[in-house]
Amino acid sequence: MKLKNYKLKNENHFVAMEYYNLIMNRTFLVLILEDYLIGMKVNGLVSVENNNDAITSAITRSMSIQGDLENPYSYMKNSYLRKIENLDIYGAEILKIERANFKINRNEIESATYDERQKWGMGYYPHDGKVYIKMKNGKKKEFIIVGSQSGKEIENWINKKENI
């Protein structure tokens, strides 16, 4: 099934930011499928606007989110979506096109846990804490739940094992 044909509805996806390499970040559209969580990078480095001087302002404006910050879809860039819209969400192409993309077998998830505390470094971007995913192999992922989404609901959706 191509991403552009996948119907986004309540309980089958969320938009989240992930920090990596200490201060870098990227944004994912995460699909919650029956057997997998599939994360596709939909934005690169995001920054808060800094108006100290003209050069800094121009640079940070280009990396800041424009539009309704409460709307999680505002965090996704069309240029990223165009790269993946025609790809099979179940296929290997999703993982090949962007090395940050991921596919997690839901049977390998030990737990998803919601932490309502705000993520340091998010500036003025509204977010509902974090959701941690712990895999049976000990690996963990931390997702910052951007905009007006419920981290608690996302935790429940991921932990729910019956059909989505």
Q: Look at the chain and report how many structural domains it folds into.
A: 1
Expressed as residue numbers, the domain containing 62 is 3-159
pLDDT digits (tens, 9 = 90+) for 60-119: 888 899 899 999 999 999 999 999 999 999 999 999 999 999 999 999 999 999 999 999
In a domain, 164, yes or no: no
pTM: 0.92
Q: Between these two residues, 52 and 134, which has the higher pLDDT value?
A: 134
pLDDT at residue 58, as a whole number: 84
Q: Which two tokens stand for residue 32?
A: 């919650």
141 in any annotated domain: yes
Task: Find the CATH number of the domain harbouring 10.
Answer: 2.30.29.30
DSSP 78-120: HHHHHHHTTSBTTSTHHHHH-TT-EEEEGGGEEEEEEE-SPPT
